[in-house]
Amino acid sequence: MSKSHTFLSILVILISTFLSSCDKDYGNLNNPTVDSYLDNANQSQLNNLVAGTESAMRNNLGLYLDDIGILGRELYRFSNSDPRYYTDLLGANDAQLQNTGFYIVNVWASRYRVIKNCNVLIEAANASTLITDNERNGYVGFAKTIKAYQLLLVLNLTYKNGIRVDVADPNHLGPIVGYDEALTKIAELLDEASAQMISAKISFQLSSGFSGFDDAAGLIKFNKALSARVAVYQKNWDKALTDLKSSFYNLSTNFNTGVFNVFSTGSGDQLNPAFFPQNSSGETRVAHPGFSREIDSSDDRIGKATLRAMPISSSGLTSDRDVWVFKSNTAAIPIIRNEELILIYAEANIQKSNFSEALLAINNIRNGHRLGNYTGAMTSSALIDELLVQRRYSLFSEGHRWLDLRRYNLLNTLPIDRPNDDIWSSFPIPSTE
pLDDT digits (tens, 9 = 90+) for 18-60: 233 333 232 333 344 667 788 899 999 999 999 999 999 999 9
pLDDT at residue 337, rounded to an integer: 98
Give the residue-averaged pLDDT of 401-423: 97
pLDDT, tens digit, for every residue of 278-334?
Answer: 999 989 999 999 999 999 999 999 999 999 999 999 999 999 999 999 999 999 999
What pLDDT score does 31 carry?
Answer: 45
Domains and CATH numbers, the chain: 7-205 (1.25.40), 239-261+336-412 (1.25.40), 263-269+280-331 (no CATH)
In degrees, rounded to 5, the angle at the alpha carbon of residue 314 between the alpha carbons of residues 67 and 427 is 20
User: HSE of 58 in the Cβ direction (CA atoms, 13 Å)?
Assistant: 27
Which one has a higher pLDDT value, 156 or 14? Answer: 156
Residues 164/176, Cβ–Cβ less than 8 Å: yes
Note the pLDDT of residue 142: 98
Other CB atoms within 10 Å distance of the CB of residue 283: 14
Average pLDDT score over residue span 263-285: 96
pLDDT of residue 32: 42
- What is the spatial distance between Cα 301 and Cα 427, in angstroms, rounded to a whole number? 29
- The pLDDT value given to residue 33: 60
Q: Which helix (H) or strand (E) holds 137?
A: helix 133-158
Q: Which residues partner with 318 through β-bridges?
A: 313
Give the ranges where 198-333 is alpha helix by DSSP (H): 216-233, 237-245, 289-293
**pLDDT band for position 433 (cuts 50, 70, 90):** confident
Q: Measuring CA to CA, which residue among 119, 145, 128, 144 is closest to residue 29?
A: 119
Cα(271)–Cα(283) distance, integer angstroms: 16
Are 72 and 407 in contact by the 8 Å Cβ rule? The answer is no
* Residue 93 parent element (H or E): none
C-alpha–C-alpha distance, residues 291 and 194, integer Å: 38
Determine the Cα angle at 22 with ends 21 and 25, to 5°.
Answer: 55
Alpha-carbon distance of 416 to 315, in angstroms, equals 14
Distance, CA of 381 to CA of 384 (rounded, Å): 5
Confidence at residue 38, expressed as pLDDT on a 0 to 100 scale = 86
Structural element, H or E, at residue 366: helix 355-368
The residue among 174 and 34 whose pLDDT is bigger is 174
- 337: three-class secondary structure by DSSP: strand
User: Which amino acid makes up residue 104?
Assistant: I
pLDDT of 23 reads 32
Give CA–CA dist 429/176, Å, rounded. 10
Q: What is the largest CA-CA distance in the chain?
A: 65
Residue 170 has a pLDDT of 84
H or E element, residue 102: helix 102-127
Q: Which residues contact 84 (CB under 8 A, 6 or more apart)?
A: 101, 102, 103
Least Cα distance to 196 among 261, 262, 249, 147 occurs for 147
In this prediction, what percent of the chain has a pLDDT beyond 90? 88
Closest by CA position to 344, among listed 232, 182, 196: 232
Element (H, E) at 180: helix 179-197
Question: Helix or strand or coil: residue 281?
Answer: coil
**258-261 and 333-337 beta bridge pairing:** antiparallel
